[in-house]
Structure 1
Amino acid sequence: MNYYLRKMESKDIDGVWFLIELLKTEGADISFTELNDKKEVMNFVDNASQLTYVAVSHEEPFEILCVVRGRRETTKEKSHAAFLTAATHPIARGIGLAAELTNFALEQMKTEGVNIARIYVYSDNKASLNAVKKLGFVHGGTVLRHHKDEVTGEYVDDLIFHKIL
């Protein structure tokens, strides 16, 4: 699969929104699926508090294969930290693309003054837990019984990881 990595641009809004809608149909439980319309995606472009990066296919149709966003406050006291969210298109899963784009994004964020990244992962999301650990993030805390899974009836913890850049 041929792709390239870069900061998100306005021409990516439709592709990112398409990926978000696809994730919603899959029932993905990530922050991207909480977005209500394409206008919210427009806020990711050229926004110092929404550092967003994409992996784009080289082949037509040019698809957004993966998105990584680092949300941060832009105050002097808090602009050093970003909370990461990643989403990968089903056709690009299992090839390490999310890890590659995350590493790229972290390097870019570092140049923007971010020196610590945090990720929240639900305890039942094994794929994301494995990816976060491979990326060198360290477990920093747990929100016990964050929510109850309606299907299994089991409680799910929210695990907090961090990485110093």
Structure 2
Amino acid sequence: MEIHNKIERATLAGGCFWCTEAVFLELKGVKSVVSGYIGGHTLNPTYAAICNGDTGHAEAIEISFDPDVISFGELLEVFFATHDPTTLNRQGNDIGTQYRSEIFYHNEMQKEISEAYISLMTDENTFEQPIVTKVSPVSIFYKAEVYHNDYYNQNKLQGYCSYVITPKIEKLKKVFQDKLKV
């Protein structure tokens, strides 16, 4: 039996990176999740700089995953189920271009899977409104400041975490129970 142990990367922007990081850390096959900034025009952006929306960056996560355990398509399934891909530059009360929905593909296969998945959801009217998620080539990913890493697990009792992230985690556990780490 051949064992591949090939780790791939996926880069997704689905609003606040504290939310998306917390969700994807729960999945089998996900080796690491790093919060950061991508898709902008400012070199070495900081959290303070991207918060005003002027740098062009999205809050995003870079996922390292084992495709023999969880596929890129399965990551997209979780991505679209745990954020609203129909609101332009917004997730809930978080408003601005830094909160946009965007998939940054690392290769042609990821691009094709992303476009096909969006097309399928559009054809099936999965959402009441049109999907606004962009599909773009990956560019420079800047890691966020250290205090953003594992933010939810370090701050579960903080208001934003309790009211915004915890319900996403509860939905994940209910809908994707078979994909969760033990």
- Would the TM-score normalized by the shorter structure come out above 0.5? no
TM-score by length of 1: 0.28
TM-score by length of 2: 0.27
More helix by share: 2
More strand by share: 1
